[in-house]
Amino acid sequence: MRMRPVLRMGAVLGATWLTLGAAVPATTAEAPLADAAMKRDTARVRALLKQGADVNAAQGDGMTALHWVAQYGFADQARMLVFAGARLDAITRNGSYTPLHLAARSGRAAVVSALVEAGANVNQPTSSGGATPLHLAVQQGDPGTIKALLDKGATVDATEGAWKQTPLMWAAAYNRTKAIELLLARGASVKQLSLVENTKAREAADRTSMTSRARRVAALKQAERPQAAVGAAAAPGFERPGATTVTARPDSAARRDSMPARLPRPASDSGRAVAARTDSAARPAAPRPDSGMRARPPADSGNNPAARALGYTDLLGNRGGLAPLHFAARDGNIEAALMLLDAGAEINLRTGGDSSTALLLASINGHFDLAEALLKRGADPKIANHAGATPLYTALNVQWAAKSMYPQPTAQKQQQTTYLQLMEDLIKAGADVNARLSKHLWFMSYNFDLLGVNTQGATPFWRAAYATDVPAMKLLVKHGADHKLPTTKPAGRIRTEDAPSDDGNAGKDPSGLPPAVIGGPGVYPIHAASGAGYGEGFAANSHVHAPDSWLASVKYLVEELGHDPNQRDMNGYNALHNAASRGDDELIDYLISKGVDITAVSRKGETVADMANGPVQRIPPFVETVKKLEKLGSKNSNKCKSC
């Protein structure tokens, strides 16, 4: 039997759909009555009952005749089978679904009424997440089905087993307004929060489990070796050539129990749709050495070897703790959100996991129309989450969301409200134009960190510069943005010419710059606008920015805002390094005309010509640009890694 997850992305719904009728199992001689019901053969069902066929005989997946007629909505047949002795508590093998679960999930009000009248348990949970019939009914949204369950005592605030979500949370996530109305009328709580997962504890538990498993596997392999080899290995003074020690690979705390990759439809309790509704099913890739996202504590160039770079779980924070309004906001369900607000939901309530508000969740996921509606109802645009992200920053971020290897929000492409309009309205409502991220956003660290940048300390203006978005930069400057604020250097060492490994910050720094310190300047807007990261990774595959705006962005920064074109970032790069790494001859000519030092060398010893000469594997050199830079006076160290 084929299984289909209920949720769309990165979500743990706590229940799994059985796509019954879509993938029809083979008939079996052991369950002829179930086979006939599956085929909707009413005449044969009656005939088999008269012949004394076993009414509770199940197919291989546990489906009985009563399951099938409940699924199809045949109320008369359901009553007939119950009268003949069909068990109301019969369950499927996958998920332990009763006939009532299937009838509720399909919105079969008449069958639900017949089953509950016969005594079916209205609060029976499934085993695949612990969803009750009421959860499944509100997901489908049929008012008659929901009312039939509530009238027979279904617990209105029952919680499923995976994330402790209530039926009202599911109804909010699916925008089932009739269901919301019925649940609220029966006293459903608009303030109850779903489960909060401690990601650090989860990661530790996963690591312990994986270590234990690795040891057991190693012991089994040892036991399976030929006795002679075991004896030889145990002999004094003998060491088996090539022997290795088995170690466990730590598992990520972002791993889910049976989930796809997006925040619900009801689901995983994170804050974002990708993704970044706050959940990705993909395990984050190992961070780049100088991305500021190390998994182990490195020595730091700021003479602080004890400083630990943030790992994935540090960036992610805790997950979950969503109220019904948060679910509605994350999915952009305006009608549901307004109904919940009218029922007393707190508009500025923060999630228990990462401290996001409904306004921030709407902005993160590109639901600009809902964000506008929340602003009109008094949502506070100044409230940031645990990473310092605000609606103003995330509206820009989702508009220019990088290409990724798992689904990202696209709702922003279908909104009547533009991102620039939302930004202006957020500012008018009191948003801080200079609010800075306190740490890199976890949902930007997808795609194996191909972007090669760390956004810790970034302001909305910096994000606009990184997107080469001149209109957004002008809007922010108009409202008082400090356009010269850089990102901040995260913990983690800076690579230097003689320190290519991860064992510290030894080696010489040929840049001639003072040491970079934790919390000091990182990457300035002029670097963001000229191509930060292109010479350090595979940003060209992922970076999304305003088209044909590299030169216009840098010109705006230099000529209208007075930025220093010779500014160096924490790695020692200037704007020429970045332009060269993209083979951008037009921007190179402009920067040279502004007196940018073409002889500048990065902390890794890279010249401007080196940046155009394939400094990263699989990035081919820009041959003509290299020749151009050599003529202009840049030394080519001939360190092409793709040649």
Asked if 473 contacts 554 with a C-beta cutoff of 8 angstroms, the reply is no
On whether residue 339 sits in a domain, the answer given is no
How many C-beta atoms lie closer than 10 Å to residue 540's C-beta?
15
On whether residue 294 sits in a domain, the answer given is no
Residue 543 has pLDDT above 90, yes or no: yes
When pLDDT is averaged across residues 535-550 and rounded to a whole number, the result is: 94
Q: Which of 28-32, 293-297, 335-339, 456-460 has the lowest mean pLDDT?
A: 293-297
DSSP-based three-state secondary structure for 320: strand
Top pLDDT among 41 and 448 is at: 41
Q: How confident is the model at residue 495 (pLDDT cuts 50, 70, 90)?
A: confident
Contact partners, residue 442, CB within 8 Å, separation at least 6: 276, 278, 284, 312, 315, 316, 317, 387
Residue 13: both structure tokens together: 């719904």
Q: What is the pLDDT of residue 478?
A: 98
Q: What is the pLDDT of residue 62?
A: 97
Residue 301 has pLDDT above 60, yes or no: no
Asked if 325 contacts 377 with a C-beta cutoff of 8 angstroms, the reply is no
Residue 447 has pLDDT above 90, yes or no: no
Q: What is the pLDDT of residue 498?
A: 62
Q: Which of 74-88, 266-280, 361-375, 541-555 has the lowest mean pLDDT?
A: 266-280
Q: What is the pLDDT of residue 108?
A: 98
Of 186, 213, 233, the last residue of a domain is 186
Per-residue pLDDT tens over the stretch 138-172: 999 999 999 999 999 999 999 999 999 999 999 99
For the chain, the domain total comes to 2
How many contiguous H segments (helices) and E segments (strands) does the chain have?
27, 4
Q: How confident is the model at residue 257 (pLDDT cuts 50, 70, 90)?
A: very low
Of 135, 154, 186, the last residue of a domain is 186
Q: What is the pLDDT of residue 29?
A: 58
In the chain, what are the helix, strand and coil shares in percent, each to the nearest 5? 40, 0, 60
Per-residue pLDDT tens over the stretch 78-121: 999 999 999 999 999 999 999 999 999 999 999 999 999 999 99
On whether residue 192 sits in a domain, the answer given is no
Distance CA 364, CA 437 (A): 14
Q: Which of 154-168, 302-316, 629-643 has the lowest mean pLDDT?
A: 302-316
DSSP-based three-state secondary structure for 604: coil
Asked if 57 contacts 31 with a C-beta cutoff of 8 angstroms, the reply is yes
CA 477, chain centre distance (Å): 31
Q: How confident is the model at residue 643 (pLDDT cuts 50, 70, 90)?
A: confident
Q: What is the pLDDT of residue 493?
A: 82
Residue ranges making up the domain that contains 564: 354-632
Distance CA 89, CA 67 (A): 10
Q: What is the pLDDT of residue 449?
A: 77
DSSP states along 269-319: -SS-BTTBTT--SSPPPPPPTTTT--SSPPP-TTS-TT-----HHHHH--E
Q: What is the pLDDT of residue 407?
A: 78
Residue 553: both structure tokens together: 């962005």
Indicate the residue type of 481. Answer: A
Per-residue pLDDT tens over the stretch 188-209: 999 999 999 999 999 999 999 9
When pLDDT is averaged across residues 294-311 and rounded to a whole number, the result is: 48
Supply the pTM of this predicted model.
0.83
On whether residue 52 sits in a domain, the answer given is yes
On whether residue 82 sits in a domain, the answer given is yes
What 3 state SS string does 103-118 have? HHHCCCHHHHHHHHHC
Q: Which of 220-224, 269-273, 383-387 has the lowest mean pLDDT?
A: 269-273
Asked if 7 contacts 405 with a C-beta cutoff of 8 angstroms, the reply is no
When pLDDT is averaged across residues 610-636 and rounded to a whole number, the result is: 96
Q: What sign results for the dihedral spanned by CA atoms 204, 205, 209, 215?
A: positive
Q: How confident is the model at residue 354 (pLDDT cuts 50, 70, 90)?
A: very high
Asked if 495 contacts 289 with a C-beta cutoff of 8 angstroms, the reply is yes
Q: What is the pLDDT of residue 275?
A: 34
CATH number for 414: 1.25.40.20
Residue 254 has pLDDT above 70, yes or no: no
When pLDDT is averaged across residues 257-272 and rounded to a whole number, the result is: 37
On whether residue 384 sits in a domain, the answer given is yes
What is the percent of the chain where pLDDT is above 90?
74
First vs last C-alpha separation in the chain:
52
Q: What is the pLDDT of residue 271?
A: 44
Q: How confident is the model at residue 306 (pLDDT cuts 50, 70, 90)?
A: very low
Asked if 248 contacts 214 with a C-beta cutoff of 8 angstroms, the reply is yes
Residue 302 has pLDDT above 80, yes or no: no
On whether residue 348 sits in a domain, the answer given is no
Q: What is the pLDDT of residue 20?
A: 39
Residue 228 has pLDDT above 90, yes or no: no
Per-residue pLDDT tens over the stretch 407-439: 789 999 999 999 999 999 999 999 999 999 999
Give whole-number Cα distances, 414 to 266, 400, 435, 551, in Å: 21, 15, 28, 29
Q: What does the longest C-alpha to C-alpha distance in the chain come to?
A: 97
Asked if 539 contacts 448 with a C-beta cutoff of 8 angstroms, the reply is no
When pLDDT is averaged across residues 596-615 and rounded to a whole number, the result is: 97
DSSP-based three-state secondary structure for 375: helix
Of 151, 170, 186, the last residue of a domain is 186
When pLDDT is averaged across residues 283-307 and rounded to a whole number, the result is: 36
Q: How confident is the model at residue 273 (pLDDT cuts 50, 70, 90)?
A: very low
Rg (CA), the chain: 30
Per-residue pLDDT tens over the stretch 369-397: 999 999 999 999 999 999 999 999 999 99
On whether residue 213 sits in a domain, the answer given is no
Q: What is the pLDDT of residue 408?
A: 85
Q: How confident is the model at residue 289 (pLDDT cuts 50, 70, 90)?
A: very low
Q: Which of 64-68, 282-286, 307-311 has the lowest mean pLDDT?
A: 282-286
